[in-house]
Amino acid sequence: MSFGRNPLGERKKREFREESMRMMEEVEQDGREAEKENDEIAKKALKAGGGCMIMAVIGTILLVVGIGYFIFKLFE
């Protein structure tokens, strides 16, 4: 009968802790990589969004001018 520490159980606990730490580090690394990818996508979306905004403004101006021209011709 042994009342001391169980070296096999201690080793398994230590291995489990080490494996858990490794897995946590991998998850953190994956998270950082995903964050970088999201930042790149956001930058591209902002660039595309700026172009879309310019086109929307131009379209609105053309629409207003077209309606104004139509009303002008209507009362001529």
For 21-31, the pLDDT digits (tens) are 999 999 999 88
Residue 62 belongs to a domain: yes
Amino acid, single-letter form, for residue 8: L
Residue 1 belongs to a domain: no
DSSP state of 76: -
Domain that holds residue 17: 7-75
* Angle (nearest 5°) at CA 56 between 54 and 59: 110
Instruction: Look up the pTM and report it.
Output: 0.46
Residue 22 belongs to a domain: yes
Domain count, the chain: 1
Q: Write down the mean pLDDT value for the chain.
A: 85
Instruction: Give 51-75 pLDDT, tens digit per residue.
Output: 778 888 999 999 999 999 999 988 8
Across the chain, which distance is largest between two alpha carbons, in Å?
112
Residue 2 belongs to a domain: no
